Amino acid sequence: MQEARAALEAGKTTSRALIERCLAAIEAPDGEGARTFTRVYAAQARASADAMDALRRAGRAPGPYAGIPVSLKDLLDVAGEPTPAGSLVLAHAPPAQAHAPVVQRLLAAGLVPVGRTNMTEFAFSGVGINPHHGTPRAPYGRLADGAGRVPGGSSSGAAVSVSDGMALAAIGTDTGGSCRIPAAFCGVVGYKPTARRIPLTGLIPLSPSLDSVGPLARSVEDCAVMDAILAGIPLPSLRRIAPAGLRLVYPANIDPDTLDAPTERAMDRALQRLDRAGVVIVHKNLPSLDMLVAAHARGGFAVVESYAWHRTLLADHAALYDPRVANRIFPGARMEAADYVALVEARARVVAAFADDMAPFDALVMPTVPIAPPPIAAFDAEADYVRLNAAILRLPSQINFVDGCAISLPCHEPGAPPAGLTLAASSLSDARLFQIAAALERIVQGK
């Protein structure tokens, strides 16, 4: 985004040229566009780009990023269209009466949506498989015969739209890692904000207690810009801070045996580079994370809150759901009101404990996902789907429950299986976390 902004300001390119480049990538016959987008706004994007170019020539561009192409996750309301959320059951639902606030903020800043991106149906999985619209393949391990690896979910199309040059940034949502997991699997940057900073109205919910809206892009700075636009705050100035002396905590709660070999190698290299740069890394057990198992003893927010939203639709149209999604929602019917109240109370205790755990440190550091993206075929059997999905969600979902903010940075070597390094902090530490991530981004990537 930064190069595109500079080129637009210098008159070296136009918004129309940027849009045409993205649309060409979407329409490439050997590309992932058909699986990445559920709807493409070709005509609208071209018209919007021409308008932004005219406004820029007249000195009236609505913002410095006016004319930049972005993608929108399929669960965000766009006025005049249904909001299917990757499903069939809502494909012909009544059209949205207004844009979601985050969509309206993007448009007000002059950003140009190129389309709606594919996702796990109703955002209920960290895998990214969608049986209705196809599964966009992660960039790593694509084969000519169509085989490939999962992109991560639920913001699967969002990540692939950025990794494949179909958009310069993407808007996703994150309930248990759904921006960060696909970012890690697709080699881009993904951000989960403190949830209450960005409005959640105008989108299909998964779990209102845990949902957040966040960006995916090529760099920390791009994500910081997009986050500011979504939050309705001034564009950031990422003040340069020295990496030496920053204190990061690596949770000793993480079982090292859960990391596969490529992820372990990528993390070891990244941590060694940080150490050489003078970053202090403390391996320490965080009591707040040990509290999570007991907090979820009688169930979790996603299951019960999604069941509350879907129960009528499931009663009437269960056959239209992806069975893997429906099977995860149905158990929500069994949670009692007292159990839900206990869960809310337990979460409050965990959030407070996590803030205490983080007080001596600048940020938490850990793998975004403990494994590299598995082949799509590895999820054919239900038991394997359940096992691998749980492994993918295990680490990133912790940050949603503790009401924190987190960013995933690519940390693998060129040509190696993709891996993401997470930096996380407690609630409302977003501005500081972006500064830390910007200071460490190139170090983590060995640049």
| Residue pLDDT, tens place only, 270-285 | 999 999 999 999 999 9
CB 434 within 8 A of CB 238: yes
**One-character DSSP codes across 55-81:** HHHTT--SSTTTT-EEEEETTB--TTS
Residue 45 has pLDDT above 90, yes or no: yes
389 φ/ψ sector (left φ>0, alpha ψ -120 to 50, else beta): alpha
Measured CA distances, 361 to 155, 255, 289 (Å):
30, 21, 16
Residue 144 has pLDDT above 90, yes or no: no
Give the pLDDT of residue 251.
98
**Distance separating alpha carbons of residues 148 and 442, to the nearest angstrom:** 28
Residue 328 exposure: Cα atoms within 13 Å on the Cβ side: 25
Its pTM stands at 0.98
Positions marked catalytic: 73, 154, 178
**Would you state the structure tokens that stand for residue 86, as one six-digit string?**
């990757």
Give the pLDDT of residue 114.
98
- Number of neighbouring beta carbons within 10 Å of residue 80: 10
**Would you state the structure tokens that stand for residue 350, as one six-digit string?**
């965990």
Give the pLDDT of residue 378.
97
Average pLDDT, the chain: 97
Domains of the chain in sequence order? 2-231 (3.90.1300.10)
**Would you state the structure tokens that stand for residue 352, as one six-digit string?**
């407070």
Give the pLDDT of residue 240.
83
**Would you state the structure tokens that stand for residue 314, as one six-digit string?**
């499931």
Contacts of 406 (CB under 8 A, 6+ apart): 180, 191, 192, 396, 399, 422, 423, 424, 425, 433
